[in-house]
Amino acid sequence: MAITTTTLATIAAARHRRGRRRRAILAGLVLLIAGMLALTLMLGQSFTPPGQVIRVLAGQEVPGASFTVRQLRLPRAVLSVLAGFCFGMGGVAFQIMLRNPLASPDIIGISSGASAAAVFAIVVLGISGPAVPILAVAAGLGVALAIYGLSFRGGVAGTRLILIGIGVAAMLHSFIAYTLSRAPAWDLQQALRWLTGSVNGAQLGQALPLLAVLALAGGVLLSRSRDLEALRMGEDTAAALGVRVGPTRTLVIACAVGMIAVATAITGPISFVAFLSGPIAARIMGSGGSLLLPSALVGAALVLVGDYCGQFLMPGRYPVGVVTGALGAPYLIYLIVRVNRAGGSL
């Protein structure tokens, strides 16, 4: 009896410690994002003192600062954060569900589907504005559905889903490359947005669809985080724990695809953010606890930092996707090596 009590006490203490650690790390991530936001708003080609930034944000007209902060820096920063949230959370949901960190939406073709639809809409159909994200979401969902349906053969095996996704992604990539190379008034910046992702020319209005999808799909995902955690231990274990695997899977796919597709339609498929956020979050959080929120925060931090580096810290100006892609490459190598050694879990 005495032993049981001490064991329980130890477990409770450990859980308490973990909870505290988790909150501390989350707070740290939020601080990092806030810091990056402040930096983005204050320091660009020119320096705007914090007092002026606050006055502009409060709605006052400050000569020399209003335009830069309100029209250029604020939309960019807001869009970076929101898109980062979407990529981070959508990506990690896939990685947890398929139990393979390499099975992120940017590798198995979901982002490519959204991207291909956007390119097709802009270049071939010549449409722009709100119809483009809608089309991209539809295409992202369509591709996800197609991959899911094609890999269905008496149940969906994760392996089959990933491999079919890779095949579909390869096909879509060649379609995107071809459509862009044939665009009549071929614009490199526009093209690069759809190949690597960028927040150039951001407008505050574009944040609305992102906010909506975050509230809707993100909310559903967060409310299902327990089921997702159970799925992380394998389908059989999850079923034994009382999770209805099929419906949960469908719901998670729908939400994650929605987030990824909306973000892709607005910023382009920012390379590797969906792919890197989850593993990075897993590394800094340690074991236990849902990865959805930490991963979303890491995603936002990645996009903010990547965009800032691409804008100001490099020779020439690069879109954020090029920076995250290049930064992601070495981490990817490390990750593949480590994951393969461990046998595939996040």
Task: Report in angstroms how near the CB of residue 99 gets to another protein at its nearest.
Answer: 8
- Report the residue number, 106 or 227, with the smaller CB distance to another protein: 106
Q: Name the residue with tokens 């491999």.
A: 163
Q: Is the CB of 63 or the CB of 315 nearer to another protein? A: 315
Q: Which is nearer to another protein, 298 or 332 (CB)?
A: 332
Closest to another protein by CB, 53 vs 119, is 119
Least CB distance to another protein at residue 132 (A): 21
Nearer to another protein, 240 or 336 (CB): 336
For 217, the token pair is 């799909």
Which residue, 248 or 324, is less far from another protein as judged by CB? 324
To the nearest whole angstrom, how small is the minimum distance from the Cβ of residue 233 to another protein? 15
Please give the full DSSP string across 46-115, using - where no structure is assigned.
SB--HHHHHHHHTT---TTTHIIIIIIIHHHHHHHHHHHHHHHHHHHHHHHHHT-TT--TTTTTHHHHHH
Evaluate whether 117 touches 136 at the Cβ level (below 8 Å). yes
- The rounded distance, in Å, linking the Cα atoms of 306 and 318 is 10
Q: Which residues bind another protein (CB under 8 A)?
A: 100, 102-103, 106-107, 150-151, 153, 157-160, 162-164, 166-171, 173-175, 177-178, 180-181, 186, 188, 191-192, 195-196, 271-272, 275, 315-316, 318-319, 321-322, 324-326, 328-329, 332-333, 336-337, 339-344
**Least distance (Å) between residue 107 CB and another protein:** 5
Q: Which is nearer to another protein, 80 or 196 (CB)?
A: 196
* Cβ 140 to another protein shortest distance, Å: 17
Residues counted in the chain: 346
Q: Smallest distance, Å, CB 194 to another protein?
A: 11
Distance CA 184, CA 180 (A): 9
Task: Report the C-alpha gap between 152 and 308 in whole angstroms.
Answer: 42
Rank residues 50 and 167 by Cβ distance to another protein and give the closer one. Answer: 167
Q: Provide, rounded to whole angstroms, the least separation between the CB of residue 305 and another protein.
A: 16
C-beta of residue 74 within 8 angstroms of C-beta of residue 133: no
Go through 176-212 and write b for each residue having 16 or more CB atoms within 10 A of its CB, e for each that does not. beebbeeeeeeeeebbbbbbbbbbbebeeebbebbee
Are the C-beta atoms of residues 320 and 197 closer than 8 Å to each other? yes
φ, ψ for residue 178, nearest 5 deg = -65, -50
Least CB distance from residue 279 to another protein, whole Å?
Answer: 12
The radius of gyration of the chain from alpha carbons, rounded to an integer in Å, stands at: 21
Q: How far lies 226's CA from each of 229, 248, 277, in Å?
A: 5, 11, 19
